[in-house]
Structure 1
Amino acid sequence: METTSRPAGESGPAAQGVPGARRAVDDYLMAAFPWYGLDAAFTGPRWLMQVGTAADGTVEHGSTGHGEEPSLRVETTPEDESFAVVVTLASRPVRRSGDGTGTLEATSVSTAAWLAGSGLLSCSFPMEMDRSLRQDWLDQQTGVAWELADDLDGSGWSSLSLPVDGIPTDFHYRESAYGWVLAGSAQEGVHLGAYGRGMSAYGLGFAVVKDITEYERG
């Protein structure tokens, strides 16, 4: 699935003079599907991350953050962070591209697993590794994440049941040295992915975000 990610608060000609948080939430409001986050049992900070769009500008997926925003500062260790990120991905069949020149792949739970796995990697930094080598490590691990996402029934994953809108839902779940990743589907025509560390996945629940503006950064 080829999409372009727009970080929350990204600047651009059309957004000049508009506060970053408002630009970010406007991106989320353009989606034709509901956003998911942690349910009401989570009472900590919530924040916007980024949306991914197709070539024609259609919002395809995006992420909402919960807990402490992860940092790539070298002096920060994974043990210092506690966060969970929920990825919402529109469920799409194989379809024509916006310009009519080709087709776009269908989205799936594997796609959600890939987005979650690559998201976890993007906010991870092996403490024993020189910063100049991180991109090589990231490229290598991203390839591994894709192979794992493409084999959800393989030994790299286990099963975990968590509530989605109050309904027990099966997820594919895996842990690594950098945190955990899970992926499944909701009842609202979307696939869900999630990743985090310092916050156990076993006690989480997911629910439709009734008002995405509650996630705006201050």
Structure 2
Amino acid sequence: MGAQSPAAEGGHQSLSARRTVDAYLEAPFPWYGLDEAFTGPRWLMQVGTAADGAVEHGSIGHGDEPSVRNEHVAASAADEPREKFAVVVTVAANPSRRSADGTGLLEATSVSSAAWLAGVGLLSFTWPGQMDHSLRDDWLDQQTETAWALADDLDGPEWSRLSLPVDGVPAEFHYRESEFGWVLAGTTGAGAHVGAYGRGMSAYGLGFSMIKDIAEYA
């Protein structure tokens, strides 16, 4: 899930921001972000929809807006400061249900869904940018399959448990680290699952809270 940045100048910026926040406002579930302990920049990314157009998930960025971490950046990481960011993914907690037109079933969502979206989100900023295109596609396919397998086995050895506050109440998350950054996933008591990914910013000190007014992000 790549970041969608508003246009850089003038009226185009406000129009793009409005279109972006409008998609968030259509969600039937609450959005989550880092709690008030985080005082840095926050920015909208994008939402994901089901086949019937219903908003099912979306992401909020915190900190530095990340760029793709290519081979050059990885090689010079010791000399240059890395970006510090965390992205919070909110996923509607839905059981298997009929589509709006009644023609089929929509896939159920779970904590694994949040882990999968967070894992793929991290990949979108870490693929080797200087690879040959055919090799890069193969690499991304392989890593995406790995992220799916990991998300489908949250009790497996690749994951540890981490307790972090959600709306001020301790909650248990599944957590893993890789050479690219970290990923975590858990659930809330408000009809949503929460995933997150980041790098350069420790996950251990984070807390999550419901966003009171997403329109303020416009």
TM-score (norm. length: structure 2) = 0.88
Q: What's 2:131 paired with?
A: 130
Q: What's 1:42 paired with?
A: 38
Give the one of 59, 65, 72 matched to 1:63: 59
Counterpart check, 1:31 vs 2:32? no
Tell me, yes or no, if the aligned pair for 1:8 and 1:23 is still in contact at 8 Å. no
CA gap 1:94/1:40 in 2 versus in 1, 3 angstroms: same
Partners of 2:6 and 2:199 lie apart in 1 by 26
Counterpart check, 1:22 vs 2:25? no
Partners of 2:13 and 2:175 lie apart in 1 by 42
Instruction: Quote how far apart the aligned CAs of 1:7 are.
Output: 6.6
Matched position secondary structure for 2:66: coil
CA gap 1:52/1:152 in 2 versus in 1, 3 angstroms: same
Matched position secondary structure for 1:184: strand
Structure 2 runs not aligned, ≥5 long:
none
Tell me, yes or no, if the aligned pair for 2:91 and 2:114 is still in contact at 8 Å. yes
Instruction: Quote how far apart the aligned CAs of 1:17 are.
Output: 11
Instruction: Quote how far apart the aligned CAs of 1:212 are.
Output: 1.2
Partners of 2:73 and 2:20 lie apart in 1 by 26
Partners of 2:170 and 2:208 lie apart in 1 by 10
Matched position secondary structure for 2:204: helix
CA gap 1:84/1:143 in 2 versus in 1, 3 angstroms: same
Counterpart check, 1:110 vs 2:112? yes
Superposition pairs of residues 144-155 of structure 1, within 5 angstroms:
144-155=146-157
Instruction: Quote how far apart the aligned CAs of 1:27 are.
Output: 0.4
Deviations 1:178-212 (A, max 9, x none): 00000000111100000000000000000001121
Deviating more after overlay: 158-167 vs 65-74: 65-74
Partners of 1:99 and 1:170 lie apart in 2 by 37
Partners of 1:174 and 1:37 lie apart in 2 by 19
Tell me, yes or no, if the aligned pair for 2:69 and 2:128 is still in contact at 8 Å. no
CA gap 1:18/1:207 in 2 versus in 1, 3 angstroms: closer
Instruction: Quote how far apart the aligned CAs of 1:18 are.
Output: 7.2
Tell me, yes or no, if the aligned pair for 2:69 and 2:125 is still in contact at 8 Å. no
Instruction: Quote how far apart the aligned CAs of 1:99 are.
Output: 2.6
Structure 1 runs not aligned, ≥5 long:
none
Give the one of 118, 121, 124 matched to 2:123: 121
Give the one of 188, 195, 204 matched to 2:197: 195
Instruction: Quote how far apart the aligned CAs of 1:113 are.
Output: 0.3
Q: How many residues align?
A: 207
Give the letter for the 2:127 counterpart.
Answer: F
Instruction: Quote how far apart the aligned CAs of 1:72 are.
Output: 1.9
CA gap 1:158/1:70 in 2 versus in 1, 3 angstroms: same
CA gap 1:31/1:198 in 2 versus in 1, 3 angstroms: same
CA gap 1:111/1:6 in 2 versus in 1, 3 angstroms: same
Instruction: Quote how far apart the aligned CAs of 1:56 are.
Output: 1.5
Give the letter for the 2:131 counterpart.
Answer: D
CA gap 1:171/1:20 in 2 versus in 1, 3 angstroms: same
Partners of 1:180 and 1:17 lie apart in 2 by 31
CA gap 1:32/1:72 in 2 versus in 1, 3 angstroms: same
Calculate percent identity across the aligned residue pairs: 67
Partners of 2:24 and 2:193 lie apart in 1 by 16
Partners of 1:192 and 1:73 lie apart in 2 by 24
